[in-house]
Amino acid sequence: MDLVNPLMKQGHIVKEIRKIETFILWLSALLNALNGILMISFSILNPDSEKLLLEGDIAIKPGRSAKKCDDCRWDKSSNGNVIVPYIMSSGYNDAEVSLIRASMQEFETVTCVRFVPHTTEENAINIVSADGCWSFIGKTGGIQDVSLGGGCMYKGSIQHEINHALGFIHEHSRSDRDDYVTIMGQYISPGDLNNFRIYDSNNLGLEYDYESVMHYPRDAFSNTSGKDTIVPKPDPSVQIGQEYGLSSLDISKINKLYQCDICSSLLHHPSGNVISANYPSAYPNNANCVWLIRTPYDQVSLKFDAFDVQSSPKCVSDYIKIYDGASKTSPVLLDRTCGAAKIPQLISSTNLMLIEFVSDGAVTATGFKATYNTERCGGTFYTPSRNFTSPGYPIAYYDNLDCFFNITAPAGYKIILNISDFFLENAANCRFDYLSIFDGDNPASPLLFHSCGNVAVPIQVSTGNSMLLYLHSDGDKQERGFKASYTIKPLKRN
């Protein structure tokens, strides 16, 4: 004990000295900020951070300005992609790792930025769960931290900090912001005014973006309840700031800063159109374009109003391909399709759907026109097997549902459906809630099954290559719903 106590006392003294040093640094920064010399603040989102932060989440590297990023871009490879090596902290759980990677995937889908696991590269971002949400601006040289603490586990927050690391400042700090918003200084405490400074920024010739993931919310740092600190011009009701993720202009800015040669579009409203280039005239040769649909809520429903793409064996020339997610590694909703095919309504399993269109250098056609909107439930399945459930299962399904689950197998195959659990509200003639299964792709097809209550459902087998499930519920009582799976098998030939 005589040897341990001095060491314990020494460690305690070191800790106390570090606390005093941190306090002195903080006090010095505060005094300088009050004098208007060094404009540094601690974010309301990062109250416990020991990092000196500009505008709440921008880390400062000694000897470097955080105002401009003219020489801090990440390097491009020979194929034109921007390579950003990354290290992922082992402190994240599986769900957090999945969310961070999904957030990075959206960058990769619609820009030329590619995040690769770090090996021996000199420069990399180190994603850590430190003290809040913050990042440096652009590539600083060496291994640089991007802090994504527990309060940052939202796609918009993750993409916000990563976008800082790519070289972007806050939207409300750009040089022309006073043409687009009014800063209400009377509702901002003096110590927080430095979060609203204007920088001599490179705006890339692109317009101000109220919807940018880099824009502060309208009440940021407000010291008066119900009073906004950022008011749009000329229409004060314009929505600003969001946490869904990158905006269309965010993507345009990345692609312009890094001179990405990529054809991509983000569609992030509840409904809209997807149209091939030049439609209804012929689309161009050598096209390679993607449309990422990311609705604010529910699932994506896509319906083609017109489709005419050059036909070729196995669609090796021109084709459209659709994914159930935000990347080309997501499950396929519709595999390569060409010609004048009739495409059924497609429903994703989440609020994300990716459309890929490719053409070669020869024959073209008029292309396609489609509309998308949101659906509360349903699905479109083309894979050889899949598990799916009613929405909310095993908790009660929602009220006032009309859900369509459309299963399509290749020609010459049949579908075997197994519903292992089934419990819908019971009523005479199933007049309230029910599940109907059709031997085909529409409700006019022969009826295979129609029931409600808590019953055992026999195995259902289609006579052709499609099967449709229709779930209906009213506005009153709901039960746990159903759990289903299917496989496909070749039709027997005579």
Residue 406 pLDDT greater than 60, yes or no: yes
Quote the Cα angle for 26-31-33, to 5°: 95
Of 7 and 459, more confident:
459
pLDDT at position 425 is 97
| C-alpha radius of gyration, the chain, whole number | 27
Is residue 13 pLDDT above 50, yes or no?
no
Q: Does residue 405 register a pLDDT over 80?
A: yes
* Rounded (5°) CA angle 390-396-399: 80
- What pLDDT does 478 receive? 94
Q: Return the pLDDT at 382.
A: 86
The token pair that represents 291 in the structure block: 């449309």
**Tokens of residue 31, six digits:** 């005094």
Rounded mean pLDDT of the chain?
A: 87
- Most distant CA pair in the chain, distance: 93
User: Cis omega before residue 270 (within 30°)?
Assistant: no
Bond prior to 344 in cis (omega within 30° of 0): no
pLDDT digits (tens, 9 = 90+) for 437-459: 999 999 999 999 999 999 999 99
Mean pLDDT of the region 214-234: 95
Q: Which of 43-52, 95-104, 224-233, 352-361 has the lowest mean pLDDT?
A: 43-52
Which residue, 261, 50, 258, is CA-closest to 138?
258
> What confidence category does residue 18 fall into, taking pLDDT thresholds of 50, 70 and 90?
very low
Q: 239-272 pLDDT, tens per residue? A: 998 888 999 999 999 999 999 999 999 999 999 9
pLDDT at 47 over 80: no
How confident is the model at residue 30, as a pLDDT? 40
| Whether the predicted pLDDT of 7 surpasses 60 | no
175 and 203 Cβ atoms separated by less than 8 Å: yes
3-state secondary structure of 209: coil
User: Averaging pLDDT over each range in 241-255, 323-337, 423-437, which range is the top one?
Assistant: 423-437
Q: Determine the pLDDT at residue 262.
A: 94
pLDDT of residue 66: 41
Tell me the per-residue pLDDT of 195-220, one tens digit each, with 9 for 90 and over: 999 988 889 999 999 999 999 999 99
The predicted model gives 330-336 an average pLDDT of: 90
- The mean-pLDDT minimum among 13-27, 176-190, 367-381 falls in 13-27
421 touches 453 (CB < 8 A): no
pLDDT for residue 160: 95
Percent of the chain with pLDDT over 90: 76
The answer on pLDDT for 132 being more than 90 is no
| Residue 406 CB neighbours (<10 A) | 22
Cα separation of 405 and 291, whole Å?
Answer: 24
pLDDT range class, residue 344, cuts 50, 70, 90: confident
Please report the pLDDT score of residue 487 as a whole number.
97
329 vs 53, higher pLDDT? 329
Q: Output the pLDDT for position 342.
A: 86
Mean pLDDT of 99-106: 96
- pLDDT exceeds cutoff 50 at 10: no
Question: 303: part of which helix (H) or strand (E)?
Answer: strand 299-308
- Confidence grade of residue 69 (pLDDT, cut at 50, 70, 90): low
Look at residue 6 and give its three-state secondary structure. helix
Active-site residue among 55, 96, 106, 161? Answer: 161
Q: Is the pLDDT of residue 2 over 80?
A: no
Best CA proximity match to 383, nearest among 351, 415, 338, 354:
415
Contact between residue 87 and residue 126 where contact means Cβ atoms under 8 Å apart: yes
**Residue for token digits 């409700």?**
443
CB 412 within 8 A of CB 438: no
What pLDDT score does 26 carry? 43
Starting at the edge strand that comes first in sequence, how are the strands of the sheet with 481-490 ordered? Answer: 385-389, 481-490, 413-423, 460-461
**Residues sharing a CB contact under 8 Å with residue 316, sequence separation 6 or more, in sequence order:** none
CB count in 10 Å sphere of residue 362: 11
pLDDT value of residue 21: 45
Q: What would the DSSP string read from start to end of 337-382? A: E-BT--PPPEE-SSSEEEEEEE--SS----EEEEEEEEESS-EEE-
**Is residue 353 a contact partner of residue 304, using CB atoms and an 8 Å limit?**
no
All domains in the chain, ordered by first residue: 49-260 (3.40.390.10), 263-375 (2.60.120.290), 383-490 (2.60.120.290)
Would you call 161 a catalytic residue per the annotation?
A: yes
286 pLDDT higher than 50: yes
Percent of the chain with pLDDT over 70: 86
Residue 51: predicted pLDDT:
56
pLDDT for residue 371: 98
Contacts (Cβ under 8 Å, ≥6 apart) of 142 = 122, 123
Residue 19 has pLDDT above 60, yes or no: no
Nearest CA among 237, 236, 238, 218 for reference residue 228 = 218
User: Per-residue pLDDT averaged across 17-41, rounded?
Assistant: 38
The pLDDT, as a whole number, for residue 54 is 66
Is 70 exceeded by the pLDDT of residue 322? yes
Q: What pLDDT is stored for residue 115 in this prediction? A: 98
Mean pLDDT of the region 27-42 = 34
Q: Is 488 helix (H, G, I), strand (E, B) or coil?
A: strand
DSSP state of 453: B
The model's pLDDT over 386-396, given as tens digits with 9 standing for 90+, comes to 999 999 899 99
Please give the backbone phi and psi of residue 158, each rounded to the nearest 5 degrees, phi first: -65, -45
Instruction: Work out the average pLDDT over 318-327.
Output: 95
